Structure 1
Amino acid sequence: MKMKNFPLLLVLFAFIFTSCSKDDEALEENNSTTNPEETTQESELEIEEFIYAGMNEIYLYKANVPVLADTYFDTEEDKLDYLAGFSSPESLFKNLKLSSDRFSFMTDDYEALEESFNGVSSSTAGMNFGLGQISGTNNLFGFLQYVIPNTPAADAGLTRGTVFTEINGQKITLNNLESLLDTDSFTINIGKVEGGTIVLTDETVTLNYATYTANPVHLVKTFDVDGTKVGYLMYNSFIGNFDDELNMAFGELKSEGVEELVLDLRYNGGGDVDSAVDLASMITGQFEGEVFMQEIWNETYQTYFEENAPERLLNLFDSKIRTGESINSLKLSKVYVLSTASTASASELIINGLEPYINVIQIGETTTGKFQASVTLYDSEDFLKDSDINKNHTYALQPLVLKSANANGKTDYFNGLDPDVELVENINNLGVLGDLNEPFLQAAVNHIKGISQIGADAAQQKRPESNLKIIGDGEMFEPTYQRMYLNRVPEIFRRK
């Protein structure tokens, strides 16, 4: 199932009340007492009441949005009048969050949202691609970063570095990319980058959408580098359903006697906080019970936790994954993390959370700067998806509810986390993932060998001059893009 993403499309829900009397039924059948416009307004108001309640309850930045103050409205009628003044639920939500908040969102299809959190997708047919802009034009190009196995893109023979500028014969722009991909199938042209210029061929590939579940553990390898066992793990999303696979990957690395680890998070936009705690515990293992991450909530929740459950604010290094299986820990005192501007949220949490304990050598670009986590709110009394959920609509909220800090209190890295070794992906030379000659992995191995990046690899230090500018990636249109989230809301509620 494809999920509608930003901007979210308005879905109108008809909420029709029926009467037990035959007279009222007859009136309904004749449409003499039901005004469709009024029914729609009632339906939207119901959704808007839920949106306001959720944001008023738990939004991280509640104190910075005056209308969310508990004392803002004198009466319930005043609040309903305020809500009724918005043209749509989406319009209300936009007004209830900070304009600088890029990460809180809502959806009109929570089932599709749940699927995306579980790694189920049909978008892009299995090709993860970066986006670039051709200088002096509004035209974009896509370049494949990696291809997910057993998907239409893999079956079509597409590989890392493939470039395309058209979808269904239309030039790609920021304005049409999302709509061009929102079809049951699409056709791309095939090209490559040579010397900073896109070279196209006559070849095209048609890709049909198919629902697939991507294993975020994309590559696991071990190399012998001058007698040192070096492990390489490419991990592309923090998905709880795949914690077993992640733990198995570390079991493989452990059995190989890995002494150094290169963790590739270049295209990892984040995900489940619990999976991040587990990954940090797999890399280490010698800090069980110590603080990996501290949580900072809005004033109401923070005060409650501090007074009633202070342990709830701490995420500790652990020894078991959520299934109860023991963690395969490498007990390393150093880790190499590969990053780009697409590295976000839970990926940044790994870097920030480990820094007080071990040497984290970050290679690549400055990360996104996303240190907050969100949670899914449903329209029920406790905001959980339970028996009393409102069946009249499928809206859900995903607001920011906490910010993370490491054991030393470091947080608020709005401008991202800067690398120790600066490196950018050169679309003229992306290399093969998991190959020792791939520039990012090569840089990590050179550091392990004590070889300076200055010199032979100096050309990689700066993005090469060309008329092609990298501006983002294809995942940026997805609602779950660069998200860090909790599994469920905490068990304190004030909803009236």
Structure 2
Amino acid sequence: MKLLKLSLIALFSILIISCSEKDNAPKNIEVQNFVWKGLNAYYLWQDLVPDLADSRFSNDNEVYSYLSGYDNPANLFYNLLYMPNEYPKDPDRTYSWIVDDYIALEQAFAGIRLTSGMKLEGADYANGSGGYYVYVYDVVNGSDANTQGVTRGMIITEVNGTTLTRANVNDLFANNTLTIHLADYNGGNPVSNGTTITVTKSQVTENPVKVSNVITDGSHTIGYLLYNQFSSDFDGDLNAEFANFKTAGITDLIIDLRYNGGGSVQTAAYLGSMITGQYTGELFAKQIWNHKVMEVTNPDLLINNFTDQILNKNSQGNVVLNEVINSLNLNTVYFIVSDGTASASELVINALKAYIDVKLVGIQTYGKHVGSITLYDSDDYTRNGSNLKSHTWAMQPIVLEIQNKNGENAPEGFIPEVIMEEDPGNLGILGDPTEPLLERTIQYITTGAKGIPTMKKGIQFSPSWNSDMMRPDYNNMYVELK
């Protein structure tokens, strides 16, 4: 989504405090000034936060006096959020955030992170003893965990010699060097087996197109894709897999989004266009921003349409990918989902269900239908805007609600027709037809049977812990401000 600079100029002109044509905020509150003005202009719930009201201050000096009360820009930022609406299921959680290093933020969106490579889920012991463990549900290719032989299904009860608890799990896995102590599953009451593995975090680029293959089952030729993040840097890789599916003549398609917490709205529209192809030019999704943005912005700039072309540009406006989308023209698609399926993943489900038959296997999705933008401290809040300040602070506030063509979304998440939860004692190999969730989805395709819900028994996962929660971009959905 692109907001034209003309719209930006119009937006700034209606602000009561901008405040002067040339911003002369004192240097010691330069970042705080950026925080207040950016949230005042774009934050989705700006009108519900008294300190962000256009009439809150009558002149620059009042603004600067207020901002001087915050030594830390992050404290100001979080104090200006409308927490009850940031995430209704959990008022203490926010999906707006601020960083003091936007280079790291940009890298995260590109799949580049400091990581051991272990992706982990937490669980209580089944016997009610209060014990806690984590299990490995995936390992990033090229990471140290991958090199050291960490595999999906491993059970971890200690880190660096300290027993895991709900209270210390974040702190223990925040260390750069991790010696993990492994255990046997033992029916959900793990018992140490004496094995340890030491892994070190490093910068790793993760290709979200993790597994892709074609499975033949009777008369069905089934394409399977495990896709872990909507990252525009890998749109070409995604499109290439759909070219392979076309060549294979697949009759059915499974997109595995169980570990996909979201990402780029534009990439979501590309994926929807690859799955279909018969709706080019029609509405994929529409965005609802705060009233100030809506009043000055051409409505055509607040929509995403199905398309037959990938056209990606870098931050300098140079074309980095321009190719025809490989569309399958399907009328039915199957998604494997979980409570880790969020934001842009749910957007694809929501957008497609207004057009084709969407089938879900797994457990209820996360329920996040709002998105963000990256704001930089420049005249127009873009990375390449004039007068970009020398500091590296940037904000990622929630600025929009997203809906399908019928004005629908699912704040509580989507409930699958086939209910089945992963079992840490029997995870299987991702992409293998015998992996439990994939096997069940294939059965759904070939027989239409929904069966009886299959849930873990005696294991408490709520509130669940996932290592991805430690990432600043956890379950994020974003559009680009250009």
TM above 0.5: yes
Counterpart in 1 of 2:472?
Answer: 479
RMSD: 1.8
Partner of 1:62: 46
Distance 1:137-1:376 versus aligned 2 partners, 3 A rule:
farther
> Could you tell me the TM-score, scaled by structure 1's length?
0.85
Structure 1 partner of 2:366: 368
Question: Is 1:130 equivalent to 2:114 in the alignment?
Answer: no
SS in 1 for 2:309: coil
The one-letter amino acid paired with 2:121 is G
Which residue is equivalent to 1:17? none
Task: Select between 171-180 and 75-84 the one with higher mean Cα deviation.
Answer: 171-180
Deviation at 1:75, TM superposition (A): 2.1
Letter in 2 for 1:318: T
After TM superposition, give the deviation of residue 407 of structure 1 in Å. Answer: 0.6
> 1:8 matched to which residue of 2?
none
The alignment partner of 1:77 has SS state of: helix
Q: TM-score, normalised by structure 2?
A: 0.87
Aligned-partner SS, 2:371: strand
2:336 is the counterpart of 1:338: yes
1:469 shift after superposition:
6.0
Select which of 246, 260, 266 maps to 1:254.
Answer: 246
Q: Could you tell me which residue of structure 1 aligns to residue 455 of structure 2?
A: 462
Give the whole-Å Cα distance in 2 for the aligned partners of 1:443 and 1:470: 26
How many residues are aligned here? Answer: 439
**Stretches of structure 1 lacking an aligned partner (at least 5 in a row):** 1-40, 491-496
User: SS at the partner of 1:471?
Assistant: coil
1:130-149 alignment to 2 at 5 Å?
130-134=121-125, 140-149=132-141
Could you tell me which amino acid in structure 1 is paired with residue 40 of structure 2?
A: N
Contact kept? 1:130, 1:470, Cα under 8 Å: no
Q: Does 1:416 align with 2:409?
A: no
State how far apart, in whole Å, the 2-side matches of 1:347 and 1:137 are. 36
Task: Map 1:22-101; keep pairs closer than 5 Å.
Answer: 44-100=28-84, 101=86
How big is the shift at 1:191? 2.2
Matched, 1:320 2:319: no
**What is the alpha-carbon distance in structure 1 between the residues aligned to residue 67 and residue 401 of structure 2?**
28
Partner residue, 1:28: none
The structure 2 residue matched to 1:169, chosen from 161, 168, 186, is 161
Aligned partner letter, 1:45: I
Relative distance call for 1:231 and 1:403 in structure 2 (3 A) is: same
1:177 deviates by 3.1
* Larger Rg belongs to: 1
1:134–1:468: 8 Å Cα contact kept in structure 2? Answer: no
Distance 1:384 1:138, change over 3 A: farther
Give the match for residue 346 of structure 2: 348
- Deviation, 1:49, is 0.7
- 1:229: how far off? 0.4
2:123–2:460: 8 Å Cα contact kept in structure 1? no
In 1, Cα distance between equivalents of 2:79 and 2:463: 31
Structure 1 residues 402 and 280: CA distance shift in structure 2, 3 A: same
Matched, 1:310 2:302: no
Does the residue aligned with 1:475 lie in a helix, a strand or coil? helix
Q: Does the CA contact (< 8 Å) of 2:220 and 2:446 recur in 1? A: no
Q: Could you report, residue by residue, the CA deviation over 1:304-342 in whole angstroms, capped at 9, with x for unpaired residues?
A: 22xxx2211210000111222001111110000111101
Report the equivalent of 2:315.
Answer: none
Give the Cα–Cα distance (whole angstroms) in 2 for the partners of residues 274 and 467 of structure 1.
Answer: 36
State the Cα distance separating 1:208 from its structure 2 match.
1.6
Pairs within 5 Å for 1:77-476 = 77-100=61-84, 101=86, 102-123=94-115, 125-134=116-125, 140-305=132-297, 309-322=298-311, 323-386=321-384, 388-391=387-390, 393-411=391-409, 413-450=410-447, 452-454=449-451, 458=452, 461-466=454-459, 471-476=464-469
Question: C-alpha separation between the residues in 2 aligned to 1:468 and 1:367?
Answer: 15
CA distance in 1, matches of 2:377, 2:149: 44
Letter in 2 for 1:383: Y
Contact 1:44/1:89 (<8 A) preserved: no
- Counterparts of 1:103 and 1:137, CA distance in 2: 33
Instruction: Name the CA shift for 1:194/1:201 in 2 (closer, same or farther; >3 Å).
Output: same
CA distance in 2, matches of 1:137, 1:209: 32
Name whichever of 205-214 and 283-292 sits farther off.
205-214
How many angstroms does 1:467 deviate by? 6.3
Residues in 2 aligned to 1:419 and 1:409: alpha-carbon distance in whole angstroms? 21
In structure 2, the gaps of 5 or more residues are: 1-24, 87-93, 312-320
Q: What one-letter code is carried by the residue in structure 1 that aligns with 2:325? A: I
Q: Could you list the per-position Cα deviations for residues 341-386 of structure 1 after superposition, in whole angstroms to 9, with x for gaps in the alignment?
A: 0100000001001001110001111111111110111111111123
For the 8 Å contact 1:197–1:467, the answer to whether it is kept is: no
Indicate conservation of the 8 Å contact 2:124/2:459, yes or no: no
Shift of 1:137: 6.4
Does the CA contact (< 8 Å) of 1:373 and 1:402 recur in 2?
A: yes
